[in-house]
Structure 1
Amino acid sequence: MRTTTKRGTTVRALTTLATVGAVAAMTTALAPPRASAQPTAPHASRSGACAAGQLCLWERPDFKGPRHTYELSNTDIESCVPLPAGARAESLANRTGRPVTTYQSAECGETGEFDTYPGKGSGARLSESPYQIGAIKIWER
């Protein structure tokens, strides 16, 4: 690192800051990918906003409360994916382009309630589920 001064300002501090910034950028770029079948962190919804390619589940009816978001890139297809421990959902938006089954049980048990969206007579958005959703399964097609 070179130290020069110009009008009483030390360039060393600027060079150090640039180096720290470059290391931080490389660390972020080299971070390991998220574990499979893990939703992104819950966060507040914006009037039921859900991006293309995502399955979004809200903990309360009418797309309110914390949101759990799943994507095909980090969710095992045709596998039971329970919501995080203690979490439940009561509304959803399916923008994956694939059918998604929601289950009342956290084990995708068919002894409780379950429905597929979109399905016969149902769209890809559900403002109020008839049961609390405990798990999901995204189908191939």
Structure 2
Amino acid sequence: MRTTMPTAATTVAIAALAAAILTPAHAGAATLPTHAGAAAPPTRAGATAPPRLTGCGPGELCLWEKAGFKGVRQTFELSDIDIESCVALPEGGSAEALANRTGRPVTVYQSAECAETGEFNTYPGSGTWAPESPYRVRAFKVWES
């Protein structure tokens, strides 16, 4: 099944999430958007600050091993990626969160061969932050704009 992310509603949710994550903890309370079935994040009273994302710069695709931008991060620079070619993650590697800062659309695949028989989603390159993929990402393609 092919789905394209984000819709207008998820674009707003992603922007709110990115703003909350990238805002210093002392800047005031932030409420992150939640998805159906997801636990609401703790509020300022007795809560820990949201994580700060660093190290994923312009022109990069960053993939995190675990949801919520946690675990080992792999970074792929646009200058080192063959456009419209399948890039498999290292053997046994996968990701559950991603940030697309390439400036180009990126499709992530459940299949390590970029097969469309498994799940796949396309994320715009305008600074998309996806804290939780609906499946384990094993490969990706970067497209011409």
Please confirm whether the aligned pair reaches a TM-score higher than 0.5, indicating the same fold. yes
Question: 2:53 is matched with which residue?
Answer: 48
Question: 1:126 is matched with which residue?
Answer: 130
Query: Matches of 1:68 and 1:97 in 2, distance apart?
Result: 18
Q: Unaligned stretches of 5+ in structure 1?
A: 1-45
The structure with the greater share of residues assigned to strand is: 1
**Aligned counterpart for 2:71 among listed residues 47, 62, 65:** 65
TM normalised by structure 1 equals 0.63
**Aligned counterpart for 1:113 among listed residues 119, 126, 137:** 119
Amino acid at match of 2:143: W
Amino acid at match of 1:56: C
Query: Matches of 1:52 and 1:64 in 2, distance apart?
Result: 20
Contact 1:102–1:137 (8 Å) recurs in 2: yes
Shift of 1:71: 0.9
Query: Matches of 1:47 and 1:60 in 2, distance apart?
Result: 15
Shift of 1:72: 1.4
Contact 1:82–1:135 (8 Å) recurs in 2: yes
Question: 2:10 is matched with which residue?
Answer: none
Query: Matches of 1:90 and 1:97 in 2, distance apart?
Result: 21
Shift of 1:86: 1.0
Shift of 1:56: 0.2
Percent identical residues: 65
Shift of 1:47: 3.4
Amino acid at match of 1:125: W
Shift of 1:73: 1.2
Where 1:73 maps in the other structure, the secondary structure is helix
Query: Matches of 1:118 and 1:90 in 2, distance apart?
Result: 17
Question: 1:40 is matched with which residue?
Answer: none
Shift of 1:67: 0.6
Report Cα offsets for 1:12-40 as digits up to 9, x if no partner: xxxxxxxxxxxxxxxxxxxxxxxxxxxxx
Number of residue pairs aligned between Structure 1 and Structure 2: 93
Give the superposed CA RMSD. 1.6
Larger RCO (CA within 8 A; separation ≥ 6): 2
Amino acid at match of 2:52: S
Shift of 1:48: 3.0
